[in-house]
Amino acid sequence: MSPKFMPNRLQGFLSLYKLCLDRCRRLLEYVALAVLNIHHDLDSSIPPAAITLPSSPMTAFDIVVVGAGGGPDETNLSAFVFPLIPRAHTLIYPSRYLVKSHSSCWEDGVLALEAGSGQGALGRILETSPRLFLSEEGDPLLPGRTLSAADVYSAIRCFLITHAHLDHINSLVVSAGSLTGPRKRIYAVKETLQDLASIFNDRIWPNLASWEEKDEDYKLLYSPLTPDMSFTPIFPDISVQTFPLNHGSNDHGPYESSAFFIRHDLTGTEFLFFGDVEPDSISSTPRSIHVWRAAAPKIPETLRAIFIECSYPSGRPDSQLYGHLTPEYLLEELIVLATEVRKIRPASHSAELHTKHTRKRQRRIPTASDIRNALDGLTVYLTHVKDAPTGKTPMREIILEQVRSLVEAKGLGCTVLAAAQGMHISV
């Protein structure tokens, strides 16, 4: 019988049957996500090149980089986005990074991780790669429709901000008055939100944000995060664990940034995202060590990707770092992480036996040879590179090569890639 002539009740049963099949398919996808993998997909029409790894269906987050730089190019500042209704994957975009689950629609809502570059950068990316946000075939609402920068930007449901320097909040402030849709939450530690409130003060910028849930007339809602070792739900099936970081000091004293463990609650998959950070080795109060100790037990089973800044190339004086990393200091941090991993998971059974023959309760300190391949299965993405105004080779490529050479010489085992504007990453 043709569907055109089906009784209404039969058509209803058919629709229900299709809906049940779809729900079963999504459930099977969640089960498959128990086996974790990472693949990277960079649209070939986007100029910055990156390594493309084999595609895999076992994915929790999909990530697109809206901006990955740390200046001076204001069109390529930190911003990621990803979907907020995780089903099979979740998409993320850096310095603004947007995040969305693979099987959900962009219209379902996305999370903006940082807010440096925004709608203008999205528009430029889509001019070069118009199918980047193509709705999936079979979407009953928007089959095959390409989305505009305004469509994607209006789908943002909340912002997750590491600190309130302008290259991390620029688009959030400038675009606040034109935001559409439901009220947006801004998640950050209280000090960062207070810094934002000093901008939304009706003098520097109109006051478009409020601390009160009941103030529905305000487009933005401040939602403080507490660095207390717990995970805080920020959207259905997505939670965040917050750690304070050092980001240099100024006339007012030390300045703090944040690191976030972002977890897909249904699968347990996590990735780690650093805001701007200075080396622990030159900090008066080391803080990154606490992040590494929390990360070590998760590598590589549940934590397989780390986004961390490397703003300057090798050779920059400590006095001119301003709370940032160079390749040598990033290597130091990764060695600390590798050492923490080996404390939990020795390199070999023989190393574990050796430990048993040492003095009772004495913990063996891993050596340089012990940490070889300690970070196998982990991918490290370099962010926040500050482009030099001159030179034919992009600074991102120079720093990437420097970091790779140092990491390979130590044999740490991790893959090192540079986040680039327009890149699509799956975790």
| pLDDT value at 305 more than 60 | yes
pLDDT score at 275: 96
pLDDT score at 40: 36
| pLDDT value at 306 more than 60 | yes
pLDDT score at 78: 63
Contact 79, 112 (CB under 8 A): yes
Average pLDDT over residues 58-87: 65
Distance, CA of 56 to CA of 276 (rounded, Å): 31
- On the CB side of 263, how many CA atoms lie within 13 Å of its CA? 16
Average pLDDT over residues 238-249: 96
Q: Which of 84-88, 92-96, 132-136 has the highest mean pLDDT?
A: 132-136
- Structure-token match 């070939």, residue found: 44
What secondary structure letter does DSSP report for 266? T
pLDDT, greater one: 159 or 390: 159
User: Which pLDDT band holds residue 6 (cuts at 50, 70, 90)?
Assistant: very low
pLDDT score at 415: 97
Scored b (16 or more CB within 10 A) or e, 254-263 reads: bbbbbbbbbb
pLDDT score at 100: 55
pLDDT, greater one: 210 or 349: 210
pLDDT score at 20: 52
**Which residues have a Cβ under 8 Å from the Cβ of 337 and sit 6 or more positions away?**
292, 295, 296, 299, 374, 375
Q: Among the residues of 101-155, which ranges form H helices?
A: 119-128, 149-154
19-64 pLDDT, tens digit each: 454 445 444 443 433 333 333 333 333 333 333 333 343 678 877 8
Cα distances from 236 to residues 86, 133, 157, 158, 290, in angstroms, run 8, 22, 11, 12, 27
| Helix or strand (DSSP H, E) at 170 | helix 166-175
Distance, CA of 304 to CA of 313 (rounded, Å): 25
pLDDT score at 407: 98
Q: What percent of the chain has pLDDT over 70?
A: 68
| Helix/strand/coil percentages in the chain, nearest 5 | 30, 25, 45
Contact 184, 157 (CB under 8 A): yes
| pLDDT value at 315 more than 70 | yes
Average pLDDT over residues 119-129: 84
| pLDDT value at 13 more than 60 | no
128-143 pLDDT, tens digit each: 888 777 654 434 344 5
Q: What are phi and psi of 423, to 5 degrees?
A: -70, 145
Scored b (16 or more CB within 10 A) or e, 218-245 reads: bbbbbbbbebeeeeeebbebbbbbbbbb
pLDDT score at 29: 44
CA 412 distance to own-chain centroid: 22
| AA letter at 328 | E
pLDDT score at 85: 40
Average pLDDT over residues 115-121: 82
**Which residues have a Cβ under 8 Å from the Cβ of 225 and sit 6 or more positions away?**
187, 188, 189, 232, 240, 242, 258
Query: What does DSSP say about strands 423-426 and 39-42: parallel, antiparallel, or unpaired?
Result: antiparallel
330-387 pLDDT, tens digit each: 999 999 999 999 999 987 633 443 444 444 444 556 666 689 999 999 999 999 998 8
Q: Which of 13-22, 63-72, 119-128 is predicted with the least confidence, judged by mean pLDDT?
A: 13-22
pLDDT score at 392: 81
CA dihedral 5, 10, 12, 14 (to 10 degrees): -100
| pLDDT value at 190 more than 70 | yes
pLDDT score at 137: 45
User: Which pLDDT band holds residue 195 (cuts at 50, 70, 90)?
Assistant: very high
Contact 395, 357 (CB under 8 A): no
Q: What are phi and psi of 411, to 5 degrees?
A: 65, 35
Both tokens assigned to 51 = 């390594």
Contact 261, 225 (CB under 8 A): no
pLDDT score at 128: 87
Average pLDDT over residues 201-210: 96
Q: Supply the mean pLDDT for the chain.
A: 78
Average pLDDT over residues 270-284: 96
pLDDT, greater one: 8 or 339: 339
pLDDT score at 142: 47
Average pLDDT over residues 199-228: 94
Q: Answer whether the bond into residue 236 is a cis peptide, omega within 30°.
A: no
